[in-house]
A = this chain, B = another copy of it.
Amino acid sequence: MSIRILLADDHEIVRYGLRCLIEEQPDMEVVGDAVNGRMAINLTYELRPDVVVMDISMPDMNGIEATRRIRKEIPDTKVIVLSMHHKRQFVIDMLKAGVSGYILKTKVHDDLIRAIKAAVANEVYLSSKITGIMAHDFASSMSISDKSASAVLTPREREVLQLISEGKSTKESALHLNVSIKTIESTRRQIMQKLDIHNVADLTKYAINEGITSLDF
């Protein structure tokens, strides 16, 4: 039986490339495409793939949050992360979220198939570049300073923070999440209180530093 794979990336061309790459393998098949984290979660529920190949930076809901939920709610499905960042905090967040692999976009060809095979075998695969970067961190201590958003903010708060830092207004965010404006307001208020930040500009910088949003707009 072949390995069933779901792709999640907002760039169609990346999904296309991944699909080409994977379908060269006789024992693997792509069963679905998602363009953001929310869609990835829904399709994972629906299709129950063996592996999700997930981009980190996506609009609406990013890959970190989506990975967290998938690993929690559908633990049979493994997640492999596709990223262009090799920042330490990113990798740590993803490992905490329970990913089975971390691959850099600049070096997919060599790593993807191996990572998928490792994932279904319950192993963790990291790009060689990543392991080098992480090495001394593991040596020093396994628990890293937990003042990152993943530690302080709740999942819902991170979700709202991403929307805010992507330029969504309160109203747009409320519509997007199907809750009232008042709810978004109090969630944002909660975020600001927790972080001791009291304006959107600094909130955006925080989100960028935490990898919750990107510098693109």
Instruction: Give residues in A with beta carbon < 8 Å to B.
Output: 10-18, 20-21, 35, 57, 82, 84-85, 87, 105-109, 164-169, 197-206, 208-209, 213, 215-217
Contacts and interface: CB of A to CB of B under 8 A. Distances in A.
Contact of A16 (B12, B20, B209): B20
**Copies of this chain in the oligomer:** 2
B167 A11 contact: no
A213 B168 CA distance: 21
A15 B107 CA distance: 11
Contacts of A18: 13, 17
Nearest to A15: B17
26 contacts: A10-B105, A10-B106, A11-B84, A11-B105, A11-B106, A12-B105, A12-B106, A13-B14, A13-B21, A13-B109, A14-B17, A16-B20, A17-B18, A84-B216, A85-B216, A85-B217, A164-B201, A167-B199, A200-B201, A201-B201, A201-B213, A202-B217, A204-B205, A205-B216, A208-B215, A209-B215
